[in-house]
């Protein structure tokens, strides 16, 4: 028989002697998670330090062993961060890799660290800490994006552009008002992030495998040390729960959808047919054969990453949907989905913040397009109701006839003569021209949350006070 390798011996020791030989190669391949869960090293070490400190405080381990454990864990942290640590697939996961190295560094005292805990509550703690930190990053990135939009909205509170429904010209709005729509959208995303942090702010450690522990531990102490509001209240649910990961992915999917809608508008607006904006060179690429091209690749890639994030959400929902309580190995498949989605969302938010901050707004093109498609037709109908006393449905009919006449004459509504308009309805007077320009239309929309420049500025002020 070939000599057993050091890694195999370590692996067998970790299994506690239950198996006569190490796992088969296929089992090792499907079972190992160190290739991705090594990302949790800082959280694992942080949790172990808190756990060891609590064990010593409760008299479960000696202060001498606690000091050795903490010193060893800090050494391992330095080794990992400096790139000197050697991860082993035979040791399965980040927990076993760190524990095995700790045993090499400090000897038998390392074996006391796992007292009153299981890998089930250990991984729940590590993953929860990681997701909480990622949510905090996401909150900051969303705040950065909202800040950029507020700046652009303030700059363009008076800049007229067409508003669209069905991607058809509907009514004139301002670009500032359009920017504020995204402030509202990403503001809701940020609020969801804050709620998610509140929901998950409970410490799993101390739940052990599923039933808690017979040791006299202090879970409130470890919760406080790790920055949690309180410990979880049911040990079975604790090791079974991945709602925090699902909630993160749900938030990420909604936010990515918002980013994708914005990216689509950037792609459309930057075309020569629209020419509403020019993207900076920093967020564009050229064509290999068409020298005139300036492609909005960053926006297109943000739009595409929505598919990856949505896929991660569906994958984890599917993983969790049929699992009986408590822990099952299926849950090992949760981390790659969250890690990938988090990376995609971080990059997308940062890229979009850069694009919005750098893009050039072509106010002349926006204004020219704002009056197209008879966008002030509703203003004509409203004037007929307000000034001539017509029921709105009658005013709507009169306005439709005016639009048909303008189409026949190939002109805008404001270019129709008073005689033309009076031939449709005698109650129309010269005052109608005060509402048929896009500027007048926009200025008249003074209802709360409307597009009038002064109203837009009020909303900007409200958001600045809360951002």
More confident residue, 30 or 313: 313
9 inside domain: no
Q: Is 287 a catalytic residue?
A: yes
Q: What CATH number does the domain containing 200 carry?
A: 1.20.200.10
- The number of domains in the chain is 3
Both 363 and 416 in a single domain?
no
Under 8 Å between Cβ of 28 and 89: yes
Both 234 and 156 in a single domain?
yes
- Which candidate in 166, 272, 410, 447 is catalytic? 166
Model pLDDT for residues 99-140, shown as the tens digit of each residue: 999 999 999 999 999 999 999 999 999 999 999 999 999 999
24 inside domain: no
pLDDT at residue 4 is higher than 80: no
Both 180 and 72 in a single domain?
no
The residue segments making up the domain with residue 403 are: 371-465
Both 193 and 341 in a single domain?
yes
Q: What CATH number does the domain containing 423 carry?
A: 1.10.40.30
Q: What CATH number does the domain containing 57 carry?
A: 1.10.275.10
The least confident of 258-267, 292-301, 455-464 is 292-301
236 inside domain: yes
How large is the average pLDDT for residues 279-308?
Answer: 77
Among 113, 130, 152, the domain boundary falls at: 113
12 inside domain: no
Both 325 and 413 in a single domain?
no
How large is the average pLDDT for residues 223-252?
Answer: 97
Q: Is 275 a catalytic residue?
A: no
- Which candidate in 21, 62, 78, 287 is catalytic? 287
pLDDT at residue 186 is higher than 60: yes
Local confidence band at 68 (pLDDT 50, 70, 90 cut-offs): very high
């Amino acid at each position: 028989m070939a000599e057993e390798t050091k890694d195999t011996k370590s692996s067998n020791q970790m299994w506690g002697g239950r198996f006569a030989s190490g796992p088969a190669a296929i089992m090792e391949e499907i079972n190992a998670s160190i290739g991705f869960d090594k990302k949790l090293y800082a959280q694992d070490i942080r949790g172990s330090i808190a756990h060891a400190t609590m064990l010593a405080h409760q008299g479960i381990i000696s202060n001498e062993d606690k000091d050795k454990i903490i010193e060893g864990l800090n050494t391992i942290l330095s080794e990992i961060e400096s790139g000197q640590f050697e991860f082993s697939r035979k040791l399965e996961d980040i927990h076993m890799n760190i524990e095995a190295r700790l045993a090499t560094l400090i000897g038998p005292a390392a074996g006391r660290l796992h007292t009153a805990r299981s890998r089930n509550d250990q991984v729940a703690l590590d993953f929860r800490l990681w997701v909480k930190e990622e949510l905090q990053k996401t909150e900051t990135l969303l705040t950065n994006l909202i800040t950029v939009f507020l700046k652009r909205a303030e700059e363009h509170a008076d800049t007229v552009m067409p508003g669209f429904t069905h991607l058809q010209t509907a009514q004139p709005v301002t670009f500032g008002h359009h920017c504020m729509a995204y402030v509202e959208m990403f503001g809701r995303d940020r609020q969801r992030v804050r709620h998610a942090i509140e929901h998950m702010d409970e410490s799993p450690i101390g739940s052990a495998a599923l039933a808690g522990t017979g040791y006299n531990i202090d879970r409130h102490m470890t919760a406080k040390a790790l920055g949690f509001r309180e410990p979880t209240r049911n040990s079975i649910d604790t090791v079974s729960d991945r709602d925090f990961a699902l909630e993160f992915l749900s938030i990420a999917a909604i936010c990515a959808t918002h980013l994708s809608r914005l990216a689509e508008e950037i792609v459309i607006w930057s075309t020569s047919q629209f020419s509403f904006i020019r993207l900076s060179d920093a967020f564009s690429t050229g064509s290999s054969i068409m020298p005139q091209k300036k492609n909005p690749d960053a926006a297109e890639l943000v739009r595409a990453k929505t598919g990856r994030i949505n896929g991660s959400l569906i994958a984890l929902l599917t993983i969790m949907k049929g699992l009986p309580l408590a822990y099952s190995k299926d849950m090992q498949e949760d981390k790659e989905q969250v890690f990938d989605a988090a990376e995609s969302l971080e990059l997308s938010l940062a890229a979009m913040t850069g694009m919005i901050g750098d893009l050039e707004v072509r106010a002349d093109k926006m204004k020219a397009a704002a009056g197209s498609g008879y966008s002030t037709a509703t203003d004509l109908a409203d004037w007929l109701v307000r000034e001539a006393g017509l029921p709105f449905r009658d005013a709507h009919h009169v306005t439709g006839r005016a639009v048909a006449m303008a189409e026949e004459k190939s002109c805008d509504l404001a270019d129709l003569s008073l005689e033309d308009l009076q031939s449709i309805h005698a109650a129309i007077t010269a005052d109608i021209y005060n509402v048929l320009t896009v500027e007048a239309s926009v200025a008249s929309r003074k209802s709360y949350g409307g597009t009038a420049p002064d109203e837009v500025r009020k909303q900007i002020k409200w958001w600045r006070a809360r951002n």
